[in-house]
Structure 1
């Protein structure tokens, strides 16, 4: 298991795949994350089902100054270099 500095009380684990539209834990995560925080996800396909949904989810997070770290890709952030 990779320890990425995650506080276990703030760990959200979804039991469904990204193909399920009603992801309760994912919605809880989006409601709980605050400005300047980082969301860490193992793979981008765990975050969204397709490119359009990815953009629909990521853009509002970036506007709130939230960083998304995809372990197998890198960091997506609202900076000139990151997004």
Structure 2
């Protein structure tokens, strides 16, 4: 079965031109959506991905209708491949997993994206290590000063409720419960 996916970003736009192109290309069923490409949780895309079975093909008019970033595209394509289905973009002939050449191109892009992610992870780790050596504290700043922490622990030990202590410092009772003497 061939499925189409048509998406526009705003209510002022129309998916009809995409629907016509996809129908002309042989898609009997087109899932339509008005949603920003930046949203990762798009209901109609999720529906069509859930419906895909082995041998099915998902078709779009252009890659940017399916995904906003390379990572999002590769994640979506991995989902499609995991269902043993194919993918085809009418406007990007090289993005066609139903052909050997298209599959090769998307595999190469996937490898490059994985390499890029690993480089980013390594650089981030090196930056954190340098920051720690400089004495920089990592993570969010504490909500309570050292003096406030000591006072809260004393109050907790005297039997005052966590909620009361938390309210007085404008933090949750859970924050107070995690304090150590």
Contact 1:65 1:78 survives alignment (8 Å): no
RMSD: 1.8
Q: Which has the higher contact order (CA 8 A, sep 6+)?
A: 1
Contact 2:49 2:79 survives alignment (8 Å): no
- Is the aligned partner of 1:4 residue 2:31? no
Q: How many residues align?
A: 81
Larger Rg: 2
Contact 1:18 1:49 survives alignment (8 Å): yes
Q: TM-score, normalised by structure 1?
A: 0.82
Q: TM-score, normalised by structure 2?
A: 0.41
SS in 2 for 1:49: coil
Of Structure 1 and Structure 2, which has the larger fraction of its residues in helix? Answer: 2
- Give every structure 1 segment of 4 or more consecutive aligned residues whose post-TM-superposition deviation is greater than 4 Å: none
Question: Which structure 1 segments of 5+ residues have no match?
Answer: none
Question: Which structure 2 segments of 5+ residues have no match?
Answer: 1-19, 104-181
